[in-house]
Structure 1
Amino acid sequence: MAGLIVLAIVALITLLLTAFGSGGSSGRQTTVGPAPANRLLPSGPPSPQVVALEGALRIQLPIAQSRVTAIGYHASGDGAVALQPLGSQANPGTLTRFARSVFGGGSRGIHWFQLGGGEGPGTAALDVGAQPGTDIYSPVDGSVIGLTPYIINGRRFGSEIDVQPTGAPSFIVAITHVRPDPSLTVGSSIAAGTSKLGTLLDFSRVEEQALARYTQDAGNHVEIEVRPAAALSTP
């Protein structure tokens, strides 16, 4: 009888240790936020997905969904217009959080972050994060009207690619942080989500990137702005 009691006690202790041990392991493996970009495999062009609007102009995701680390918006002093983000803000302010708690919403679709810095409208610049070397595709249908060296501290980092959208010729869509594809020239006709513009450059040694706060890497990203066409010729 004593032997059976001892066996029962041992079995109970083993069961408790197993339960607590598995619970602790599960907690340690839980991660918050997007996966590091270096764990994501290339998957070609993105599936068609509109991420922002400017009137009738639709800005499509320029990077394959599986490669995106985070999406953010910030102000810009380059004359860019405010974009209308689609989806919900992942780091909302107090009033937005209160409204969601009362009325619901904010849990579906694209999640984007409001980034600090810059002057002007807070959604004038769209940053789509990914690992350096990731293929970048056109966010709009249109024609390339400019390939200008992108200079920081006297050094060139790829080019600014200016695209005149087919459906909104009064605007220019400017794409930066990209090494242009050798086949891309001024006058090239491009299609949203299918025409490759180039590859993403590494800016981690050039500037502190605000998107890094919400990713598990240096926050490298392609930047997209929409400007009035007249602003292109303004000194």
Structure 2
Amino acid sequence: MKKITLTLLVIASALFFSSCGGDQEFNLNNDIDAKVDGYIFDATTKQPISGVKVTISNKTATTNDAGYYIVSGLSTGDYPIKLEKEGYASVLYVGAVSIDGKDYYGDAIQTCAAYNMYPRSKKLDVTFRFEQYNETSGQDEWYNAPAGLKVKVSYTNTSILNVMDTQTTDNSGKISIDNIAELQNITLDIDQVIGSDQYYISRTISSSDLESYNYTIRVEISKSTAPASGEIDIPQFNF
């Protein structure tokens, strides 16, 4: 009796594997059709945003009126998620989505956390100035930076994809930039020689300071005598 039962089990196992294998190749990645869903909100109003293009791998979706999206057809792997909408800073969150074949099989849904987007609605005005001794008055006085200084302006948030053009100071030592993303820290960099003077700054302005001054600020810049041609400008150290 035991011999007959064992024989039947062997036959059943053979039939199972032949029907499962056959001419079809089983691939765990190909057989996973994961779906990722979530919500997108305005970082300032906390309201949902419709019409956001959401990209994960080579799959895209668009948020509805509730800010909801669902991206289908994903296989196992780690993916960034890219969010794009006119009037907002485009963002790329690296490693935001991770689909593990051990946890998800077939028509599975992995829900992601909600994401914020930042409106590009601010105009930034920056006037650069330096302090210098005035021999006539006998006092230190403030002067606006000269025209023609090249200013590199960037976000400290590396998830933001929007790159700001290099700005040039006008005759008042001022630059103006439209469509600045809200709630973001801004870095200002200048390192330039004009005539015999060298101008330098590398400073980050916090979003709270920008808000406090309504995005109209004055920033101190360093002015010094430029090294003569062929000289090397090295700080002095005591050894």
Look at both structures and tell me which one has the larger radius of gyration over its CA atoms.
Answer: 2
TM-score normalised over the length of structure 1: 0.23
Structure possessing the higher relative contact order (Cα contacts under 8 Å, 6 or more residues apart):
1
Question: In proportion to residue count, which structure has more helix?
Answer: 1
Question: In proportion to residue count, which structure has more strand?
Answer: 2
